Amino acid sequence: MSAMILYWSLGGTTKRVAEAIAEGLRGAGVGCELHDLRTGAPEDLAAHEIVGIGFPVHYYALGRSRVRRARPSSRSRPPRENL
């Protein structure tokens, strides 16, 4: 059995948690890879039976810098008459 843990970390805490989970899985005999999502999407995700995803949460929401990039700005929306 193999696992992959995908993570995105702002200050390093999420990375440390992902590493601790990977260590626990390896201790239980599960092969485990870590993948930092800042480097892009993993190529071999389908090769794993277990996939975990970790990202920072601040006050029950994604980290501010990530939310800003994820939300389209009002300037990028098409005018209403084109909808």
Report the amino acid identity of residue 15. K
80: confidence class by pLDDT, cuts 50, 70, 90: low
Query: Rounded to an integer, what distance in angstroms lies between the CA atom of residue 59 and that of residue 14?
Result: 15
* 68: enclosing H helix or E strand: helix 64-70
- Express each pLDDT in 55-68 by its tens digit: 888 776 666 554 44
pLDDT of residue 63: 60
State the average pLDDT for the chain.
81
CA quadruple 9, 16, 7, 3: dihedral, nearest 10: 180
Q: Which domains does the chain have, with CATH numbers?
A: 2-73 (3.40.50.360)
